[in-house]
Amino acid sequence: MAVTGADTGNRPRVVVTRRIFPDLAQQLRRDYEVLDNQDDANWTTEELLARLSAADALLTDPVRQIDAQVLARCPRLCVISNIAVGFNNIDVAACTRAGIVATNTPDVLTEATADHAWALLLAAARRVVEADRWTRAGRWERFAYDAFLGADVCGATLGILGMGRIGQAIARRAQGFSMRVIYHNRHALPAQAVPGAAPEQARWVERPQLLRDADFLVLLVPYSAATHHLIGTAELAQMKPGSVLINIARGGIVDDAALAQALRAGCPAAAGLDVMENEPHIHPALLALDNVVLTPHIGSATATARRAMVRLAIENLADVLQGRRPRALVNGEVWASRRCAAPAAG
């Protein structure tokens, strides 16, 4: 396939898989030959490869799968800069074997993502979206004491599965709601690692206890083969009656078909999902339910956070191409043996 849009100079060639902010795209063009996707088309793998096979760098979104077969056809590729904190879309081991550096965008999206987790939590708890739909449908005829009864947030128990940076930011906000925070990680964190939370306010528990005791369960584990369907029928059955499940991490951690069935049966009572299996193709059973709030993978979507992510991704990419160790290196083990140890330009 013929690909147009790049200069013919010898500057490093960069492929961008999704539309990015025009001023940042322009900045990129000043330094590189850029094959970008300002039309935001859904490139097939072959369409991506038509651009990537002669490229030095890739600036990619977290939904685009970059696997060993793709990498094998990109002999010049030095760096894959993911515009996301999660990098399950990239076969990092294959990158390392090929000497390709992988980077991500941690930190800059932490607070925005924690805010969105809370938006979902409150919306699901207090049935905001369902009530909005009902009101707009012209069905509000009188005040009713039993209308849209939701779950109490203040004073409830917040459970966090995967207490990393975003989990800690969510836990910090819980103090304002006088919540008890419990969490499960592979290892308990030192008390001071949960900012502002005294040990009794953020307590490590085993996973079954987390499922059993949380009124609100927020999922923040990275997606991998080990976390695929980590929350399925058996786990949902252990959740408390009246509880609410929030997935702000990745689709596939929850078995969406099992969740739809559990929500239909009323336990958990509600869910808030920013990520789903096979997104953007949502399981139809979820779409049919009123007790689930759905958002289209917008956890970090504030202008500040999303621009900071793109900026950091560009910075990571530039660092690698210029021979500097990037700020957010995913596969540090590749650094000494990376494919492009010398600056790629010239």
Q: Report the alpha-carbon distance of residue 316 to residue 80 in Å, rounded.
A: 9
Q: Backbone phi, then psi, for 75, in 5-degree steps?
A: -65, -20
Site for ligand GLV in 158-187 (CB under 6 A): none
11 is catalytic: no
Question: CB of 43 within 8 A of CB of 24?
Answer: no
Q: How many CA atoms lie within 13 A of 95 on its CB side?
A: 29
Terminal alpha carbon distance of the chain: 27
**Least distance in Å: CB of 201 to ligand GLV?**
27
Q: Tokens in use for 50? A: 């038509």
Is 321 within 8 Å of 56 (Cβ atoms)?
Answer: yes
Q: For residues 332 and 313, give the distance between their C-alpha atoms in angstroms, rounded to a whole number.
A: 16
Residue selected from 32, 51, 59, 62 as contacting ligand GLV according to rule CB under 6 A: 62
Q: How far is the CB of 63 from ligand GLV (least distance, A)?
A: 8
Q: How far is the CB of 335 from ligand GLV (least distance, A)?
A: 22
Please confirm, yes or no, whether 76 is among the known catalytic residues: no
What is the DSSP track for 277-316? TTTTS--HHHHT-SSEEE--S-TT-SHHHHHHHHHHHHHH
Q: To the nearest whole angstrom, how small is the minimum distance from the Cβ of residue 86 to ligand GLV?
A: 3
Question: In the complex with ligand GLV, which residue's Cβ is closer, 170 or 179?
Answer: 170
Between 84 and 245, CB nearer to ligand GLV: 84
Binding mask 66-105 for ligand GLV (x = CB under 6 A): ------------------xxx-------------------
> Binding residue for ligand GLV (CB under 6 A) from 81, 96, 103, 300?
300
Identified catalytic residue from 116, 250, 306, 338:
250
279, 283, 306, 338: which is the annotated catalytic residue? 279
- Catalytic option among 64, 203, 297, 338: 297
Q: Which of residues 104-133 bind ligand GLV (CB under 6 A)?
A: 109
As a whole number of angstroms, the distance between CA 330 and CA 332 comes to 6
Annotation marks residue 283 as catalytic = no
Which residues sit at the interface with ligand GLV, rule CB under 6 A? 62, 84-86, 109, 300
Name the residues annotated as catalytic.
Answer: 250, 279, 297
